[in-house]
Amino acid sequence: MPVTPTYPGVYIEELPSGVHTITGVATSIAAFIGWAPKGPTTRAQLVLSWADFTNQFGGLDSRSLLGYAVNQFFANGGTQAYIVRLVDITDTPKAALAGASLGPLAVNALNMGGWGNNYSIAIKNPSPATDRFRLQVLYTPPGTPTPPPVLVESFENLTTVSPDPLGRNVVDVVNNGSNYINVTVPSGTTTLPTDTGTSPVPLAGGNDGVPLNPSTDPTTGNAFDTAVTNATTLLDHIDLFNLLCVPGECVTSTLSTLESYCEKRRAFLVADSGPLITDYTKLMTGPGISGAGGNAAFYFPWVQAPDQLNGNVPRNYPPCGFVAGLYAATDASRGVWKAPAGTSVALVGATGVAVPLNDLQNGQLNPVGVNCIRNFSAFGTVIWGARTTQGNDEIGSQWKYVPIRRLALFLEESLYRGTQWVVFEPNDEPLWAQIRLNVGAFMQTLFRQGAFQGASPQQAYFVKCDGETTTSTDQNNGIVNILVGFAPLKPAEFVIIQIQQMAGQTGA
């Protein structure tokens, strides 16, 4: 605050520096959409490890590609993923909750699926009777003979009375604290739930429904495609994600819809080829994914890896989980401006590819924007392409390469979030100078990290915000225009070595 002088002397006044640090956003938070045997269905759930996914969504399941793809993502360097679980509530048998009734207390599994049938509820009412009781959740592992139940949760001193002066109303406590169940009690209930004695009451009626799996035909969708399109509304509630993976999705119309959604969210789609494509010539016209933004990359063929649920017998998997994990690993080690491809980024856990490709075949697919995955004896299974779906040479798009598109998305999101302080500031030269200072400092940091072309900052980037970009008419309309340019690093896609004989030449 300005100092108000009232007496002769020296006054100290602290002045704001005008520095508003812009922090780069994350670049490799993935979002996966697919069917799983358990887990929330009304929100996109964050998982931070494979163990986290296993606990919340059931881990690997032979009926779905989702668990395998998430496992491959974390194994190859991924660290954060949002999971959108699809369930089928239209076919028979429908996905359903497991539940039980204990007097006035209705108990249900936390989400739909047959997993809930492995849980049971024990109620203990005190003696002499009070209005308090204990509720326990027990898990019975599958097996023959049936193993004894294991206590997984216990809630003490509960009551059905609401409001409760001790804050132990059963609905509030259990529904906010349980990882397995939720409960309901009719309004006005004061009676205790049924004491289960020595035998807990099992939850029953849980059903997985029909597992939703992607179509194997790139031209014909099914219920999975409809569910995927609808599921993107759950991603709208996520603050930030960068990579979108729908394991096994190959219907080009659905992939085009997902690519358009990624354009709106400043995200990037990692698209799979069809599992039945064994003839590479079927992709000679390109991926077939529309979208002028180039917010997608297409990978062929599927990847071979051991199936942990089938004695490690090799099986073909969609590449998106492997690829998204390597995106994350490359971003962490080199930066988002480095192409996630080459001999330095071998696929962890892969033993080969479903369709082996040679140089000539690769050379026919690369110019049309199909990124090949190849197996080399010296390096293993590697990504051997770094083009977006706009990477067809005939298009001549500025978003031809994956690292350029993803670097631009990183800059856009970081600057969008880092300049919110500008809104409602006085729109004149002092503000423009602060904008140039802060955006310039952000771009200079990236330049020093090697994100741009050029030997000097002047060659690598510019930030312009002045009376030329923001005219008096713009000021009258409340607009401030910031122009940021950068010189992207293009990957060394073709390395040409020229060899010349020096026969007949002698030294001086």
User: Under CATH, what is the fold of the domain 99-202?
Assistant: Immunoglobulin-like (2.60.40)
- Dig out the tokens for 498 from the structure: 């020229």
In 29-180, the DSSP E strands lie at: 30-35, 45-47, 81-86, 99-102, 105-109, 119-124, 133-139, 150-158
Percent of the chain past pLDDT 90, that is, above it, reads 86
Would strands 268-272 and 296-300 be described as parallel, antiparallel, or unpaired?
A: parallel
Q: Which two tokens stand for residue 252?
A: 């080009």
Residue 28 has pLDDT above 90, yes or no: yes
Exposure string for 70-108, b = 16+ CB within 10 A, e = fewer: bbbbbbbbbbbbbbbbbbbeeeeeebbbbbbebebbebb
The token pair that represents 494 in the structure block:
């073709």
Contacts of 209 (CB under 8 A, 6+ apart): 87, 88, 89, 91, 93, 94, 95, 96, 112, 113
pTM here is 0.93
CA distance 297 to 436: 34
pLDDT of residue 493: 83
CA 12 remoteness from chain centre: 50
What local confidence, expressed as pLDDT, does residue 14 receive? Answer: 86
Q: State which fold the 30-89+216-404 domain adopts.
A: Rossmann fold (3.40.50)
| Confidence band for 201, pLDDT divided at 50, 70 and 90 | very high
The string of pLDDT tens digits covering residues 213-262 is 999 999 898 999 999 999 999 999 999 999 999 999 999 999 999 999 99
Quick one: pLDDT at residue 430?
93
- For CATH 3.40.50.11780, the residue range(s) in the chain are 30-89+216-404
What confidence tens digit (pLDDT) does each residue in 431-484 have? 999 999 999 999 999 999 999 999 999 999 999 999 999 999 999 999 999 999
Q: Is the dihedral of CA 459, 482, 446, 244 positive or negative?
A: negative
The pLDDT value given to residue 507: 59
